[in-house]
Amino acid sequence: MSPGSAMSKAETFRLLQYFGRQMGLYSQVVVAIALVICLSMATLGYWVNAYIGEVEVESAADADAVYMNIILEPLLRGVERHGTVPPEVEAQLDLLLDRYAQDSDIEAAAIWWQDGTVAYSTDKRLMGRRMSSAQLDAAFAGRVVAEMMQNLTDHGSRRQARMGQPLLEVYVPLRAAETGAVTAVGEFYRNAAELQAQMQRVAARIWGVVGLTTALMLVLLLLTATRARRIVRAQQDELHRRLTISQQLARQNADLRQAAETAKLDAIKANEDLLNRIGADLHDGPLQLLGLIVLRLSGLSPGQAEDAAAAREREKTAELAARTMQELRHLAYGLSIPELEGLTVPEALSLAISRHESQTGTAVARQWGDLPEQLSDPAKTCLYRIVQESLNNAFRHAGGKGQRVRAAMRDGEVELTIGDAGPGLPPESRQGDKGDNGQPGLGLPGLARRLQTLGGRLEVASQPGQGTTVTARLPVEAEARLLHIGG
């Protein structure tokens, strides 16, 4: 292969690649299917044309074979099957073949014995020679052999030019009438111009049918592909429309979700502000008035007009006012919490523990693991409230025995555990929103609802005589989303 041809093939390949990239998927599929159809129909047309040509040649040869058996076999009866035929038989064959040639365009003829000897030939130079060929062997085996050719041959040596005229070469097995055995083979060449013209007409019809069928298939392919393309485009447009609607709904849902999260944070903050305001109002209002009453009752000196009963009643009133003031102070202390902004999670939890220890005079064990650097203020407030309420319950029901607080990260969640070694938490304290003194409080169920709003959950485990354990879990992923919204 020359470099020029190699370069030409490479350029052709690159050109095909370029057109392949320029065409869309629809065009590529249509072209590929069209090529497959054309190649398949071309192969089918070639095979059918070749098969019909073979059938026509065999039919013509079989007809000639029957006729040659009829006219040649009687002349060869009694003739020895070696050497050349007797002169009188040769003369009869010349006369017979000359007459037959005028009617059937016989160009040449020969008779062979089984040993390969040319017993008779219209070309007298071949008589007496011995030759062999595959066609001759097949004819002695009982088959009629026919082949289209352009020139007369003596089995490889050209001896007569035909100027492009086609010939039908036929080898006919000549059978004995008595036994049916093949005793000789007749070979003759017939002008096949008419046969070739007929074959060409048949081939033209075949290729016409194949071409028309191929054209109809390509038109059907084009119509089907065009309709499929329209359907696909319509479906793509519909999918795009639905995708656009889905994206719009997703954005609306995201906006609604963010609005809901913001509303939850606002509600939590408003609730905490309300609790702080109530605590401040209790401290600045009723507590101050009760303090003034206690001071006035305690500062009064007994007078002459006051008998002993009145003095005892005044002392009881002062004691009741002092107890009321203490209860209100505890309630205000529980409702209001210090500012947690800027504190880390351990610092906020330690602040709740320190205030509990200062108020109750008890000790609380603490243990901190790996915790996130930052949480939102609502989350820190909620964890602070859980520690505050759980330690208050531990002090009320366990007397502060075995109080402990642990916090760490576990499976992507902040896990906060508050426990004691008391007799266990009564069911009413686990399910209600009031303490043991009957005063309103936040309660564990209220804290559980608040934690659930933040995406977390609260669990209380308590068995009689085995203490109580409160576990709060807050997912960091949900908390990070709230921190982003709050920021």
CA 39 from centroid of its chain's CA atoms: 33
In the prediction, which pLDDT does 417 show?
Answer: 94
pLDDT > 50? residue 119: yes
Least confident of 15-29, 127-141, 272-286: 272-286
In the prediction, which pLDDT does 148 show?
Answer: 80
Q: What is the mean pLDDT of residues 355-383?
A: 86
Q: Domain limits of the chain?
A: 342-487
Q: Which tokens in the block code for residue 171?
A: 């080898």
> Mean pLDDT across the chain, nearest whole number?
77
In the prediction, which pLDDT does 12 show?
Answer: 64
In the prediction, which pLDDT does 157 show?
Answer: 36
Distance CA 381, CA 367 (A): 19
How far is residue 162 from each of residues 56, 145, 150, 165, measured CA to CA in Å? 22, 21, 7, 5
Q: How confident is the model at residue 326 (pLDDT cuts 50, 70, 90)?
A: low
Q: How confident is the model at residue 418 (pLDDT cuts 50, 70, 90)?
A: very high
User: Who has greater pLDDT, 301 or 403?
Assistant: 403
User: Who has greater pLDDT, 139 or 257?
Assistant: 139
User: Who has greater pLDDT, 373 or 49?
Assistant: 49
In the prediction, which pLDDT does 455 show?
Answer: 84
pTM confidence score: 0.45
Least confident of 34-38, 114-118, 187-191, 404-408: 187-191
What are 151-174's pLDDT values in tens digits?
A: 555 443 333 444 457 888 889 898
CATH T-level assignment (fold) for domain 342-487: Heat Shock Protein 90 (3.30.565)
Distance CA 36, CA 80 (A): 61
276-291 b/e (C-beta count within 10 Å ≥ 16 → b): beebeebbeeebeebe
CA nearest 472: which of 400, 421, 401, 406? 406
CA 146 from centroid of its chain's CA atoms: 61
How far does the chain reach from its first CA to its final CA, in angstroms?
75
Pair 415, 407: CB distance under 8 Å:
yes
